[in-house]
Amino acid sequence: MGNSIKDIFDNHAGDYDRQRKQLIPCFEDFYNVSLNLAPLIRKDAKILDIGAGTGLFTWYFLQVIPVARFTLIDVSEKMLKIARYRLRDYEHTRYIADDYINADFDGQYDCIISSLSVHHLPDPEKEALFRKSYRHLLPGGFFINADQVRGRTPYWDRINKTVWKERVEESGLSPAEIAAARERVKLDKEAPLDRQLEWLTQAGFIEVECIYKYFHFAVMVGRKPVE
């Protein structure tokens, strides 16, 4: 990811978590639905959180599998600083400040997760990331991506964006905060859900599914076959 993404998230690190509930109308369901997969993951699993930001998605998982060993990677050191504080009571966490597209994932994992990050990548990098994640998963491991997607047709994409705009304007954010969020949206490179599910399948994943969708927020899952 380019410096523009890093700079923007460095600049907004302090406000990011406070605003997130207001910028994601389906916040609770969006973050909690993936936890229903936790019983399928080893309690002491090695889990990689890519584009981990402030560690919120990791924190949700740690509420149900508290002895899991997490590696968090993000391009923004300021975001990871917040993650370190948020997860300060959990011993088995490590942090990598790097661009996850080019960084070495350093080993094999039982599960790879991501939230609200992959949509910043151009489509070829999304595909490359899915293939890279597949290579770094242990047999039977899950890839879970909670992210934004483009509408399947221009009509539905307009509906998605209209609903989001209306909900954000009703959220209590200040006009300046809403304007800043709209500027960040200009950097989004969303891809349709069905195309991303196809890319996951092409990467080698099985049992590929969308387990949650609310307009342009979706949770995609794939599993690496047991050899």
Contact 219, 212 (CB under 8 A): yes
Pairing of strands 69-74, 217-223: unpaired
Tell me the two tokens of residue 197: 């599910």
pLDDT at 225 over 70: yes
pLDDT at 10 over 70: no
Give me the mean pLDDT over the 210-217 stretch.
96
CA 157, CA 151: separation in Å to the nearest integer? 4
CA 143, CA 198: separation in Å to the nearest integer? 14
Confidence of residue 3 (pLDDT cuts 50, 70, 90): very low
Distance of CA 137 to the CA centre of its chain: 17
Give me the mean pLDDT over the 44-73 stretch.
95
Lateral strand order in the sheet of 217-223: 93-97, 69-74, 46-50, 109-115, 137-148, 217-223, 206-214
Pairing of strands 109-115, 46-50: parallel
Where on the phi/psi map is residue 164: left (φ > 0), alpha (ψ -120 to 50), or beta? alpha
Tell me the two tokens of residue 148: 């934004």
pLDDT at 22 over 60: yes
CA 183, CA 167: separation in Å to the nearest integer? 17
* Beta bridge mates, 96: 73
- Mean pLDDT computed over every residue of the chain: 90
pLDDT score, position 16 = 62
